[in-house]
Each structure stands twice: as structure tokens, then as C-alpha cells.
Amino acid sequence: MTTPLYLFVTSDRPDQYLNSILHCLRDKNIVIVIFLYVENAPWGSNSSSSTMSVRGRVETLLSKLASEGKYRYFSGPKKDTDEDLQAHYTPEEVAHIRGKYTSFKDRRTFWRDEVIDYYQLREKLARIRKRDPSSIFDVTSLGKEYLGDIIALGLFEGIEEIYSFKFLSSPSSKFDTPWKLLFHDLEYRGNPESGYDYINLTKTPICDNYSKKVVTRKIPLSFSLGAAIILLLTLIITSFIFGTTNWFALSVTSLATIASIFSLIFTILPLRK
């Protein structure tokens, strides 16, 4: 089964996207990478990024590291210049780094871009969940104004694969040497100095508990609607056979009415704990 990785895009820097992609290529067996850009948000876009430019930058950075052993700057005073890793690593280390990125670059992976209207996010996520239940959603670079929406929609739609890439120590000390914040210098759940984690945000104790409550709230609604339909069908049949004044038909009418009322209550006022 093919597992797609959906990356929400709100930043122009390719580094954080590359880290998440390479982790998922290694540990999650993904074969499709989709860059998602949310448009038409009520607060407007907080970035000039577009999925096309970001995807191109990620591919360029990966290619530079694999074929030349160089880090490409995409912003700041050194924008569009390359840093040769041979100035910071031994020849053997550079060869190892290049080999690692080459193995990822040569893997058969499909990359594409998608743009989603903010007001259609729920429908889009629901379709993805139905089509590919194992889909992974990466929110590492997602703006804070979007994060609450994605987590809430994910919990409601039963999406259990919403991840964020997290350094185990503050990355600020390495901002002057950004290549040290890339995949080749990091260790999954390793020591704090060079470690990182890939956290499933839906599996924190609070989110996991809430997602279970969401499921339990859906059960009474489904049950009451089903009961109402069965009772109403029974009412129609008994009324046709015995007439509307028969005691059995009147009993079924009462039960059907009660079931309909409860289904309406569960729709408007979900159960809470």
C-alpha cells in the first residue's frame, strides 16, 4: 500500500520540509510527497511561499547535497550561494553525507503540489482520510494560526497521523551553520545535542483521550438514527396491515417518535463527559 505524505506549506525555507520528507522516506515507507498550500484564509497569507517554489527549493537542496556535497542558502545575506561541506567535514564524512542523500534522491518517489481553499479544508481532509487512511500530515512548518484548525479537524475526522518534526535541543545555536540542522547530522530520538523526534500530535494524552470521546459521541447518533428508521418502517407496515388505531401501531408510533427526538438531540447537543 502506498502511503502519501502531505506537507502543509507556510514557509519558504526548504530545510524543515526536507528533514520531514527524509525521515518519512526512511521510517514511514512513503512513495508520494504532496506540498499543500492553504489559500483564502480569513487572516490572509503570512508568507509569500507557494507550493511550486517550495517544492523546487527542496529538490534543489537535496540535489546539491547529493551530487556536490554543498548546502544552498535560499534566504538572508548569502541567498543563492553554496557552502561546500568539505570546509566543515572530512572527505570521508562528506562522501558518507553525499551517499546518504543520493540514496534518498534516487528512490522512486512522486512529488506534486496542491492548493486548498481554507473553507474547504474539512471536506478535503475527509476525502483524503477516506481514500488513503494511512496518509501522513506534516505540520512542522505550519503557521500557528492554522495549527488549531488542522488538529481539530483531524480529531473530528478520525485522522491519526498528524506529525511535527522537533529538535531535542534548541536549534538557535546552529543557525550560523544550518547544514548541521539537516538530516545527515541528526539522530532519531538520539542524544539531546543532535537528536530529533517526529511526534504524532494526535497521540498526546489529551488529544488521544478527546479523540476517543469524539468516537463515543458518534455511536449514540448512529444508533438512534438507525432505530428511528427501523421503527418508522415498522410503523408503516403495521399501519397498512392493522390500521392506525390498532394498539400495536400506536405503540410503534410512540417509540418511533421518541427515537426521532433522541436522534435530533444527539445531533444538536452531542454527549459530553
Residue range 211-241, pLDDT digits in tens: 565 554 454 555 555 655 665 565 556 555 6
Tally the C-alpha atoms within 13 A of residue 27's C-alpha that lie toward its C-beta. Answer: 14
Is residue 158 within 8 A of residue 28, CB to CB? The reply is: no
Minimal CA–CA distance to 248: which of 224, 262, 231, 228? 231
Note whether 106 and 100 are within 8 A (CB). Answer: no
What pTM was computed for the model? 0.77
Report the candidate in 119, 120, 126 with the shortest Cα–Cα distance to residue 154: 126
Lowest mean pLDDT: which of 16-25, 85-94, 128-137, 138-147? Answer: 138-147
How far, in whole angstroms, is CA 110 from its chain's centroid?
18
Mean pLDDT, rounded, for 148-166: 92
Closest by alpha carbon to 32, among 138, 185, 153, 163?
Answer: 138
Taking only Cα atoms into account, the Rg of the chain, rounded to an integer number of angstroms, comes to 26
Give per-residue pLDDT as tens, 60-88: 999 999 999 999 999 999 999 999 999 99
